Amino acid sequence: MLPASVAIVGLGGLGCPASLALARLGVRALTLVDPDVVDVTNLHRQPWHHPADVGRPKVESAAEKLRRQFPDLRVEARQARVTAGSVEALFRAHDVVLDATDGVGTKFLLSDAGVITGTPVVYAGVLRFEGLAMRLEPRGPCLRCLFETPPTDVPTCAEAGVLGAMAGLVGGLQATLATRPNAQPGLGLLHVVDGRDLSFRVVKVRRRGDCVACGEGAKAVLRDEDDPSCRVPPSTSPARSAP
């Protein structure tokens, strides 16, 4: 099912390839949200950004090239940080939201906003040679079902490094998941990619009944809790999974 409008939060290594894939799939409208400007260290893994774009807002750099390549595509660029005060309006204006951010707290904020607004979120993370992607449906499982609480011991991108090709692969996977609702309510599919041997596996993740965001009788609360950690780390042991 092709969504009519998609918001992509983060226009870096994940958001750039995801936006290209969605445009090629035929999505009619994209909203690009990112507060940052292009840095020379971004160029090897963020394909919309070229040396001449260094210092420009990432959303403007990406939007310009998307409009040039796909003239029928409606592209809105917002140079802004998504916060607890702005996220709900963003979600309610779109069919699907892609989490292409690099902040752990922001990822949990986007997951919680999906539960509150009823908007699906496609989560993804990349660290070193590993990548994760999962579509989070409003009725769960959500990111808190998977990781319970934001991790505090994740190395930064500068410390750990990110394989640029892996970011491109996972960003493309995000775009695919944006078009594929989960078939079974309360059951999500965590896609795990290992770039060292190019292996793929899928872990079934069930909604937790006691989840503080999407569990029975729970009420998600939007709050800003970002930290400088790079990404929710790839994990072979999600909080709750099904064989």
As a residue count, the chain comes to 243
CA 10 and chain centroid, separation? 8
The topology under which CATH files domain 5-206 is Rossmann fold (3.40.50)
Number of neighbours of residue 242 by Cβ within 10 angstroms: 11
- Would you please indicate which residues are annotated as catalytic (active-site) residues? 157
Q: For 154, which DSSP code? A: P
Tens of each residue's pLDDT in the chain, 243 residues: 899 999 999 999 999 999 999 999 999 999 999 999 999 999 988 999 999 999 999 999 999 999 999 999 999 999 999 999 999 999 999 999 999 998 888 999 999 999 999 999 999 998 888 999 999 999 999 999 988 766 655 555 545 566 778 899 999 999 999 999 998 989 999 999 998 888 999 999 999 999 999 998 888 889 886 543 333 333 333 433 332
Cα–Cα dist 96/115, whole Å: 12
Q: Sheet containing 121-127: give its strands across.
A: 74-78, 29-33, 5-9, 96-99, 121-127, 130-136, 187-194, 199-206
Q: Are strands 74-78 and 29-33 parallel, antiparallel or unpaired?
A: parallel
According to the model, what pLDDT value does residue 233 have? 36
According to the model, what pLDDT value does residue 241 have? 30
Q: Would the pTM count as exceeding 0.85?
A: yes
Distances in Å between the alpha carbon of 240 and those of 17, 43, 125, 236? 30, 37, 18, 11
According to the model, what pLDDT value does residue 234 have? 37
